[in-house]
Amino acid sequence: MPVIQKCFVPNCGFTSADMPPRIFFNVPRSEFRHQWFAAAGKKPADEGKRLSLKTILYCCDAHFDLHYDVDDYEVFKICKAQGSEAPQLRLKKGVIPHIFPTVTPSDENLFEENIEPERENTPVAVKVPL
């Protein structure tokens, strides 16, 4: 059964089942992920466990300018046009999603809610003054 990739950006909703097919990029599984969440207007609290770096998330090509943000996009286009196997597209280093569809006011409210981040019962570190 093919896995359907779904864009992680709020209000986007593109999936790999959409036509025409979209390109999906992996959301980085590093501390860089926080920047992607911030760029997409997501708060870590919205996501809870999904912020876990173990979770695989996808971001669709609607949020990038592929001509500028991706290596080998020209090669990719030529391969696609010729029907040959296209190389895996890779975002250039440091690129984060930066194109977002207009957010309607009602959607905005949805993300303005104050959700308290879930806190775990971790022991409080005592700071020792220098």
Strands 70-71 and 24-26 turn out to be: unpaired
Considering the rule CB under 5 A, would residue 89 count as an interface residue with Zn ion?
no
- Residue 55 CA neighbour count, 13 Å, CB half: 12
Considering the rule CB under 5 A, would residue 12 count as an interface residue with Zn ion?
yes
Q: Which stretch binds Zn ion (CB under 5 A): 40-48, 61-69, 84-92, 109-117?
A: 61-69
- Tell me how far, at minimum, the Cβ of 51 lies from Zn ion, in Å: 18
Chain centroid offset of residue 45 CA: 16
Considering the rule CB under 5 A, would residue 79 count as an interface residue with Zn ion?
no
CA distance 85 to 68: 22
- Tell me how far, at minimum, the Cβ of 49 lies from Zn ion, in Å: 21
Q: Which stretch binds Zn ion (CB under 5 A): 30-38, 60-68, 102-110, 112-120?
A: 60-68
Nearest to 77 by CA among 87, 68, 63: 87
Considering the rule CB under 5 A, would residue 9 count as an interface residue with Zn ion?
yes
CA distance 71 to 66: 8
Considering the rule CB under 5 A, would residue 40 count as an interface residue with Zn ion?
no
- Tell me how far, at minimum, the Cβ of 82 lies from Zn ion, in Å: 27
Residue pair 40/97 in contact by the 8 Å Cβ criterion: yes
Per CB under 5 A, residues contacting Zn ion are 7, 9, 12, 14, 60, 62
